[in-house]
Amino acid sequence: MDPNQSKENAGGPVQNKPNLFNFLIIGVIITFALNIFMGSMTAGSKMQIEYGQFIQLVESGVVKQVQIGEDRIALTLKGDNDGNAVRNILRLDNAATTNRSILPSLSQGDQIFYTGRVEDPLLTNRLLEREVAFFRPIIQSNPILTFISNWVFPLLIFYLLYTFIMQKFAGTMSGGLGGMLNVGKSKAKFYDMEKNTGVTFNDVAGQDEAKESLIELVDFLQSPEKYRKIGAKQPKGALLVGPPGTGKTLLAKAVAGEAKVPFFSLSGSEFVEMFVGIGASRVRDLFAQAAKHSPCIIFIDEIDAIGKSRDNQIGGNDEREQTLNQLLSEMDGFDSSKSILILAATNRPEILDKALLRPGRFDRRVIVDKPDLPGREAILAVHGKKVTLGTNVDMKEISRSTSGATGADLANMVNEAALRAVRMERAEVLQEDLMEAVEVVIAGKEKKDRILNPKEKRMVAFHEVGHALASALQKNAQPVTKITIVPRTMGALGYTMNVPEEERYLMTKSELLARITTLLSGRAAEEIEFGEESTGASNDIEQATKLARSIVTQYGMSNKFGMMGLESPSNQYLDGRPVFTASDVSSAGVDEEIARIIRECHETALSLLRENRAKLTEIAEYLIAHESINGVQFMDFLS
């Protein structure tokens, strides 16, 4: 590695110095044009006359002063002169000699005329007789000063402006002057991981399988000889795939930190610009920089921005496709002996071009999924080291309450807990702070200004107790840990928190139906107690319908369709929205089957709550008075 290059680029974007040759060309052209413009402006305010006309003007008494130079004489008219007399002397009525720009100002004075100097021994006497002020400049024009003022000084100003614009916009704004001169330059950031970030695998938790897949790549970069001896080749690239917030970028930085090699990092969107060919130029520039600093790692985040499948449809993006073609060419153009490893991250692998995923390009696909129960506990431990924790903190309990959370979610929860501890004026984070942080991330903050009237408060209480009671009375349901009727900022007027006793990866049909029954029990409790429904069950109905639809279309558990797949998920690492793949006739049948499942589960919920009407009322009345019930208190009511 060139030490000068390292000092220039370490820790920031690669800078492009102003091109002096380009500046000189542009500066000289602008200065030349400016001098011509200023000269024409100055000349436009003067008029050359004959020497005889100059003498006549002096004799007529309209001249205010005369300046006698080396080769010319300049005269200024008086302010109260006779304009018609001047016109007659200068013969301005002749259209061929008329300077239209000075005609209106002849009678206003201060108009400058000049004529060539003639050896006239009588000139001095004429000027004295007519009391005309005349003088000869003592300081003559200095050619050096003239050159400096007309050329050097303007060029210096242009250079300062040019340098400022280049430093301000080069590499950051493709529309500015700097961006226009550097649109083909790579925007990759150059990192020395050992000195700057220091991220290693010890800073990544909950992704043991992903780390295991990447450790071998680190070993390739550190000790390539032992692999070459046996004939093994280093993988050219690895694709990190997973939902947002699971730590794909952190893993890429950890690989560079473990290998102690330079790390080029940029987003896929930084390649694509408005002008066709710029993205391809940036890809070439990026790989040229990487070749100078090998061994190194190139990390392209959100590679789907340039790696989308080429479908040849009308309206395709030529710039993106040219950039992708250049990336494919560059990946084919270097061998593993150069020790350049390409890492990329995406959460939409299904839309990537097949040529990008074939062996020899991105040889490995590393899944970075949401962490399981032990993984969440390990992630909480990593982030917990950064704050002061109390002795009563149980990270295992917190991890059980955060099923489905990503690493970013867990980091946010620990930070929210620390902020709450500061608000409560405590020096350490307690278990209650972490539990409250979990609720803040899931349901939002308590909305203290939203005050429910007595009827609404009673209705919300029965609704939430209906959920909790149905969950407790079904053997396949999850246990209840908290019931509250305190409104939250995300729209919930109350909620019931269920925490599974163990991490589950499969669910049976009976468990799915029990879950739907629990969701519909809030509406059932309203019907039993008040004899009418409210709008509070809208989210419950949405979730119940989604579960029932999955039973019918994806899990093959319905009586009508049996083991027939009617939907397939898309964007499984984002929203996982299902796409219906069957006919319209089947679609109508699916709706009927979903309605049947929901109707039967609703009837089950009504039956459970009617059989336990006394408990429903007792717990709801306590909840109205105290607003929250924990899991232990709830089970005491049922015992």
Name the residue with tokens 């006239």.
120
Spatial distance between the Cα atoms of 442 and 488, rounded to a whole number of angstroms: 10
Spatial distance between the Cα atoms of 511 and 373, rounded to a whole number of angstroms: 20
Lowest-pLDDT range of 94-108, 162-176, 443-457: 94-108
Give CA angle at 385 (210, 383), nearest 5°. 45
Helix (H) or strand (E) holding 596: helix 584-611
Q: Is residue 455 a contact partner of residue 485, using CB atoms and an 8 Å limit?
A: no
pLDDT above 90: residue 582:
no
Task: Identify the bridge partners of residue 628 per DSSP, sorted by sequence position.
Answer: 484
Q: Where in the chain is the domain with CATH 3.40.50.300?
A: 189-367
Spatial distance between the Cα atoms of 36 and 237, rounded to a whole number of angstroms: 59
CATH code of the domain occupying 373-443: 1.10.8.60
Domain 49-138 has CATH 3.30.720.210: yes
Q: Where in the chain is the domain with CATH 1.10.8.60?
A: 373-443
pLDDT above 90: residue 108:
no
* Confidence (pLDDT) at 497: 87
Lowest-pLDDT range of 125-134, 307-316, 565-574: 307-316
Collapsed DSSP state (helix, strand, coil) of residue 264: strand
For 549, the token pair is 């639809």
**Percent of the chain whose pLDDT exceeds 90:** 25
Give CA angle at 594 (589, 599), nearest 5°. 125
Active site residue 59: no
Going by the DSSP 8-state scheme, the letter that residue 236 receives in this structure is S
Please compute the mean of the pLDDT values over residues 500-510 and round it to a whole number: 84
More confident residue, 322 or 160: 322
pLDDT band at 336 (very low <50, low <70, confident <90, very high): low
More confident residue, 574 or 378: 378
**53: amino acid identity, one letter:** Q
Q: Where in the chain is the domain with CATH 3.30.720.210?
A: 49-138
Domain 454-638 has CATH 1.20.58.760: yes
* Confidence (pLDDT) at 171: 44
The separation between CA 423 and the C-alpha centre of its own chain, rounded to angstroms, equals 31
The separation between CA 349 and the C-alpha centre of its own chain, rounded to angstroms, equals 20
* Confidence (pLDDT) at 538: 92
| Cβ atoms within 10 Å of 86's Cβ, excluding its own | 20
For 577, the token pair is 């929205």
**369: amino acid identity, one letter:** D
pLDDT above 60: residue 338:
yes
**Dihedral of CA 539/541/543/545: which sign?**
negative
Please compute the mean of the pLDDT values over residues 141-165 and round it to a whole number: 70
pLDDT band at 466 (very low <50, low <70, confident <90, very high): very high
pLDDT above 60: residue 99:
no
**Best-predicted range by mean pLDDT (38-52, 133-147, 563-577):** 563-577
Lowest-pLDDT range of 305-309, 337-341, 373-377: 337-341
Please compute the mean of the pLDDT values over residues 576-599 and round it to a whole number: 89
* Confidence (pLDDT) at 639: 77
Q: At 330, phi and psi to the nearest 5?
A: -65, -35
User: Considering the domain 189-367, what is its CATH architecture?
Assistant: 3-Layer(aba) Sandwich (3.40)
Exactly one of 273, 321, 439, 464 is catalytic; name it. Answer: 464
Sheet of strand 480-484, all strands in order from the earlier edge strand to the far edge = 495-498, 480-484, 628-630
